[in-house]
Amino acid sequence: MSSVHESKTLRRDVSPLELFYDLVFVFAVSQLSHHLLEHLTWRGAAETAVLLVAVVGTWVFTSYEATLLGIDRRVTRWMVVVVMGIGLFANSAIPHAFQDRAWAFVTALLFVLLSAGTVTALAARTEVQREHYRRTLVWMAAAAPLWIVGAAVDSGPRLWWWAAAALIDLSGTWLAHPLPGRTFRSREFPLDVPHMLERLRLFLIILLGETVLTAGRAMSDAPVDAPSMLATAGVFTALVCLWATYFGGGEEVVTTFVAHTTDPVGAVRLGVNSAYVLMAALVAFAVGSELTIAHPLGHGSATLALLLFGGPAFYLATAAWFYRTTTGGAWIERLIACVALAAGGVAAVWLPPLASLALLDAILIVTATVLARAHRKLTLSLRGAPATRA
């Protein structure tokens, strides 16, 4: 059965249980933001990146698995509930994973990945799916000793052990877990593509929503004065613009492309791979937003500039890569915006945070407006000429 045929015949709505499961990752994003805010150093950024790979990898694997198995099956529902409960323990340990809760984080992480992977390798609907998850388990087993050794050593070398484990997990996801003589062929892989696209769409909303919550918490701790209120309004404006760069027509571009491409599963894989960088970008922006709201009239710094402008720049650059690789359009506008954000980031080193935020908003408002027009044009183009990219 081809993936195109599968995507047209198996169209399951995202269930309330899957939405409930995704809420666990609101907590995870909050924990990652808190860890970075408390450790604003290059090492702290590296620690956050390692933990982020583990968190996003957990969401990716379990979301794929629930989609492949079908949430209507009892085994899938039990798996999601168990994974959600254990995942809470892993996410609660994030702020202290490099201190005294390494085992709590690693034990929960490995249980989730290996148990859910095993269930899918045994209970997936087709042999192609089961064989793919047997390969996935091999990659997970290769990374597991590194996670375990990292938990056993001191916090200093722990970063290196866990970074190696995260690199294996990330490489496996990006390469689709190949083994000698056995590789992933997306055109032959049965998958409910519309369902997985909806999961990705909702995950992006969750990431954006957590940044809104971060701004709200920062505002509740800040003085009730004009600068703090303006900073909060500026952060909200930036988030609306980031939301609009995809949901202002970009979503229609993607669904139109997937409906016409000969390899819809390949397009979904590229979207999943993008999720890692998108989450990192929004975590960085969330921390930059919290710092700006807390000290809107303070001094600029390279750290704040990297967070406030670098986060949106990486967000748009990742989307540019996705659109260039798939649809072939609406990517140049995003790269131009990245150049403008880079220039704004340089200026932000010397500007007060509130002025930097105003500059950021101006760039993002123009970007969202230009992209809305580009998305409409690209959608019409895709409808007129079937896509072949993936």
Rounded CA separation 89/91 (Å): 6
Q: Which of 15-29, 112-126, 128-142, 242-256 has the lowest mean pLDDT?
A: 15-29
Residue 6: band (very low, low, confident or very high) from pLDDT cuts 50, 70, 90:
very low
Q: Where are the domains of the chain?
A: 3-188, 197-384
210 in Cβ contact with 26 (< 8 Å): yes
Could you say which DSSP state residue 182 is in?
A: B
Q: Which of 83-97, 108-122, 148-162, 213-227 has the lowest mean pLDDT?
A: 213-227
Q: Which of 130-134, 223-227, 240-244, 289-293 has the lowest mean pLDDT?
A: 223-227
The more confidently predicted of residues 260 and 103 is: 103
* Tokens describing residue 94: 């994030």
Q: Specify the pLDDT at position 8.
A: 42
Rounded CA separation 145/133 (Å): 19
Q: Specify the pLDDT at position 11.
A: 59
Q: Specify the pLDDT at position 29.
A: 86
* Tokens describing residue 74: 């009892």
Inter-residue long-range contacts of 380-383, CB under 8 Å, 24+ positions, other chains counted: 381/329, 382/253, 382/256, 382/257, 382/260, 382/327, 383/256, 383/260
> pTM of this prediction?
0.90
Burial environment of residue 223 by CB neighbours within 10 A (0 to 12, 13 to 18, 19 or more): exposed
Contacts of 52 (CB under 8 A, 6+ apart): 32, 276, 279, 280, 283
Looking at this protein, which amino acid is placed at residue 388? Answer: T
The more confidently predicted of residues 322 and 4 is: 322
Residue 219: band (very low, low, confident or very high) from pLDDT cuts 50, 70, 90:
confident
What is the Rg, in whole angstroms, of the alpha carbon atoms belonging to the chain?
A: 21
pLDDT of residue 161 exceeding 80, the answer is: yes
Q: What is the mean pLDDT of the chain?
A: 90
* Tokens describing residue 281: 């970008």
pLDDT of residue 343 exceeding 90, the answer is: yes
Q: Is 206 helix (H, G, I), strand (E, B) or coil?
A: helix
Contacts of 320 (CB under 8 A, 6+ apart): 331, 332, 334, 335, 338
Q: Specify the pLDDT at position 287.
A: 94
Contacts of 167 (CB under 8 A, 6+ apart): none
49-100 per-position pLDDT tens digit: 999 999 999 999 898 888 888 888 888 899 989 988 998 889 999 999 999 9
Rounded CA separation 377/343 (Å): 28
**Which residue intervals of 70-101 are DSSP H helices?**
74-92
Residue 14: band (very low, low, confident or very high) from pLDDT cuts 50, 70, 90:
confident
Contacts of 47 (CB under 8 A, 6+ apart): 35, 39, 97, 98, 159
**Which residue intervals of 295-327 are DSSP H helices?**
302-325
What phi and psi values does residue 179 have, to the nearest 5 degrees? -130, 160
284-294 per-position pLDDT tens digit: 999 999 999 98
299-311 per-position pLDDT tens digit: 989 999 999 999 9
